[in-house]
């Protein structure tokens, strides 16, 4: 079924006119995914074709192709002869569609559509296409792999959470409040507000009563740091929101399917992801499926987006040099082996 689907998508990719604009080092490419047209950019190294390519899977907050971390990846990989494909997520930039209603499964299928468009090109090695997932992309890459493992050769996952979105957002709220020296009472209140909100989305709580409890704290100086979906304004129909479709997503189910070389990168000061818990989840699934082709890197003084001293409000955001060098070394060593 998938093979026929991707054949159709490739024909659509050609019909759209996959090459919209190009230069020697970068080419704009449009591709079809379902009923939408997504637009991306292929950064091409100055090496002989066919070259390996890494496809970028976005963080939740950075859906545009032009992002500092994505641009950094392009520059870093170009040095070692690797192409990078970044695209505007559906509903962002030049891509059609609506991110607000897109499920994780839909976003993963978008990535597979990109891969199947790229692998038909003569300048790309179809057997060396990998995924780079950052934050939410750290869920999307294993999810995409579970749908179509044969076309993904390796993964680099940065800040990949091993817990559900609901659990991750509670962790983020608590970590942020602790950083701001909020009291234990406030922290417990924040956890309670997140819990009753989630229970409302799950259909276990009355909307009016839940909204009334949330509104009691709306004016508190710490309220925004609870990170409630819709800023605490409960929708009447939770079915049209992203949160109901994502909150209880269990990444471990998809992590266990991964059976390709993988680099897991975590910033030691990350306040968004419980890194020790996430690493434990990955190690557990690797142990269960006897997969040993993985490396885990913890980057000193780096945050969620690999920025040095990220949460100390640096005047200039600088991507960690340690991360840069280790990333380059890992990919270069991987390409020297047969996989």
Mean pLDDT of the chain: 92
pLDDT digits (tens, 9 = 90+) for 114-127: 999 999 999 999 99
* CATH code assigned at 14: 3.40.50.1820
pLDDT digits (tens, 9 = 90+) for 246-297: 999 999 999 999 999 999 999 999 999 999 999 999 999 999 999 999 999 9
What is the pTM for the complete model shown?
A: 0.90
Same domain, 325 and 237: no
Q: Which of 249, 236, 171, 180 is nearest to 206 (CA)?
A: 236
Same domain, 136 and 58: yes
pLDDT at 338: 64
Same domain, 63 and 156: yes
Same domain, 281 and 238: no
pLDDT digits (tens, 9 = 90+) for 211-255: 999 999 999 999 999 999 999 999 999 988 889 989 999 999 999
DSSP assigned state of 272: S
pLDDT digits (tens, 9 = 90+) for 199-218: 999 999 999 999 999 999 99
Same domain, 127 and 174: no
Same domain, 148 and 49: yes
Same domain, 256 and 213: no
Range of the domain at 113: 2-162+250-336
Q: What are phi and psi of 119, to 5 degrees?
A: -70, -15
Last residue of a domain, one of 227, 246, 265: 246
Report the C-alpha gap between 145 and 71 in whole angstroms: 24
| pLDDT beyond 90 at 19 | no
Tell me the three state secondary structure of residue 134.
Answer: strand
pLDDT at 311: 81
Rounded average pLDDT over 312-325:
89
Last residue of a domain, one of 246, 268, 298: 246
* pLDDT band at residue 18 under the 50/70/90 scheme: very low
- For the chain, percent of residues with pLDDT exceeding 90: 86
* E strands, the chain, in order: 19-22, 26-33, 36-43, 51-57, 83-87, 124-134, 154-158, 262-267, 294-299
Last residue of a domain, one of 217, 246, 275: 246
* pLDDT band at residue 339 under the 50/70/90 scheme: low
Rounded average pLDDT over 311-326:
89
**Total number of domains constituting the chain:** 2
Q: Provide the token pair at 64.
A: 């545009």
Report the C-alpha gap between 299 and 319 in whole angstroms: 11
Rounded average pLDDT over 67-94:
96
């Amino acid at each position: 079924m998938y093979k026929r689907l991707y054949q159709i998508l490739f024909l659509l990719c050609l019909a759209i006119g996959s090459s919209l604009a190009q230069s020697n080092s970068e080419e704009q490419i449009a591709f079809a995914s379902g009923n939408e047209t997504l637009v991306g950019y292929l950064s091409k190294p100055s090496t002989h074709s066919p070259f390996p390519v890494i496809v970028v899977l976005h963080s939740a907050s950075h859906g545009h192709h032009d992002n500092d971390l994505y641009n950094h990846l392009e520059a870093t990989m170009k040095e070692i002869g690797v192409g990078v494909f970044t695209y505007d997520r559906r509903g962002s930039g030049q891509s059609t569609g609506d991110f607000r209603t897109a499920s994780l499964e839909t976003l993963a299928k978008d990535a597979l559509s990109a891969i199947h468009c790229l692998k038909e090109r003569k300048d790309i090695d179809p057997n060396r296409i990998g995924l780079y997932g950052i934050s939410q992309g750290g869920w999307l890459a294993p999810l995409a792999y579970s749908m179509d493992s044969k076309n993904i050769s390796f993964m680099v996952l940065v800040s990949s959470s091993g817990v559900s979105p609901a659990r991750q957002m509670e962790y983020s709220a608590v970590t942020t409040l602790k950083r701001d020296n909020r009291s234990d009472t406030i922290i417990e209140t924040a956890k309670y507000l997140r819990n009753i909100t989630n229970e409302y989305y799950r259909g276990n709580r009355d909307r009016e009563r839940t909204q009334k409890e949330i509104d009691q704290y709306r004016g508190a100086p710490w309220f925004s740091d609870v990170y409630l979906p819709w800023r605490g304004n409960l929708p009447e129909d939770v079915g049209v929101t992203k949160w109901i479709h994502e909150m209880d997503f269990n990444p471990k189910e998809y992590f266990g399917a991964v059976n390709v070389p993988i680099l897991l990168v975590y910033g030691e000061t990350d306040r968004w992801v419980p890194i020790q818990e996430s690493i434990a989840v990955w190690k557990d699934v690797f142990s269960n499926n006897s997969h040993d082709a993985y490396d885990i890197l913890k980057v000193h003084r780096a945050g969620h987006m690999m920025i040095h001293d990220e949460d100390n409000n640096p005047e200039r955001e600088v991507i960690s040099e340690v991360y840069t060098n280790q990333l380059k070394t890992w990919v270069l060593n991987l390409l020297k082996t047969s996989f």
